[in-house]
Amino acid sequence: MQYRRLEDKCSSVAAWLLLREACQRVLGTEDVPEVGMGKTGKPFLVHVPDFYFNLSHTDGAAACAVSRIGAVGIDIERVKPLDREVMQQVMNEAEQQQILRAERPDVEFTRLWTQKESLLKCTAEGLTAIHTLPALLTQSTGFRIESHLTDDYRFAYSVCQETKLSVECLVFS
């Protein structure tokens, strides 16, 4: 509840409610078991070592991904107008061209951004590795990233997992 804006607080609560639903479905628990924080701040279930999860939220949407096999990362973002200066800082040249050639550059940028952030969250690096963002997707092997758009193109989200792992994903918007 450290967020200042009510919208951020609501989205954060929605993400945790999705985790609660996932725990009910997958673990058969009424509520979320005790949560701890790893060295980089990635949350985990203290007494359930074979349950991996990740949460994400943005203004108006929340997402949760869970796996019983290995680490998982998820990122959801609202599609906003393309900021070329930001694009040049976080995307490599090939990605920039891909974005600029896309029918909807704003959507393509957001899709690629969520891929990068979901990978960083899966590996527990988070945005501490922001200097690696331009080359991140081309240098990472052993991970599968799936991207999705909501039907109205208002949100893009990506789920990252180690290759060949099974992940359940819940999205609320």
pLDDT in tens, 23-78: 999 999 999 999 999 888 889 999 998 899 999 999 899 999 999 888 999 999 99
Tell me how many degrees the CA angle 38-7-109 measures, rounded to the nearest 5: 70
Q: Checking DSSP bridges between strand 61-67 and strand 167-172, what pairing results, if any?
A: antiparallel
Give domain 6-172's CATH architecture.
Alpha-Beta Complex (3.90)
Sequence-separated (6 or more) residues with CB below 8 Å from residue 2:
none
Q: Is the pLDDT of residue 1 over 90?
A: no
pLDDT digits (tens, 9 = 90+) for 88-107: 999 999 999 999 999 999 99
The alpha carbons of the chain give a radius of gyration, in whole angstroms, of: 16
130-140: average pLDDT: 75
Residue 135 has pLDDT above 90, yes or no: no
CB 52 within 8 A of CB 43: no
Confidence band, pLDDT 50/70/90 cuts, at residue 79: very high
Predicted local distance difference test score (pLDDT) of residue 168 = 59
Residue 123 has pLDDT above 90, yes or no: no
One-letter amino acid at 173 equals: S
Among 78-82, 134-138, 159-163, whose mean pLDDT is lowest? 134-138
- Please report the pLDDT score of residue 41 as a whole number: 83
Whose tokens are 């550059």? That residue is 105
Domain limits, the chain: 6-172
pLDDT at 85 over 60: yes
Predicted pLDDT at 128: 62
Q: What is the mean pLDDT of residues 140-144?
A: 79
Q: Which residues contact 53 (CB under 8 A, 6 or more apart)?
A: 19, 22, 43, 44, 45, 64, 65, 66, 67, 72
pLDDT value, residue 9: 84
Q: Per residue, what are the HEC states of 29-98?
A: CCCCCCEEECCCCCEEECCCCCCEEEEEEECCEEEEEEECCCCEEEEEEECCCCCHHHHHHHCCHHHHHH
Number of C-alpha atoms within 13 angstroms, CB side, residue 42?
A: 20
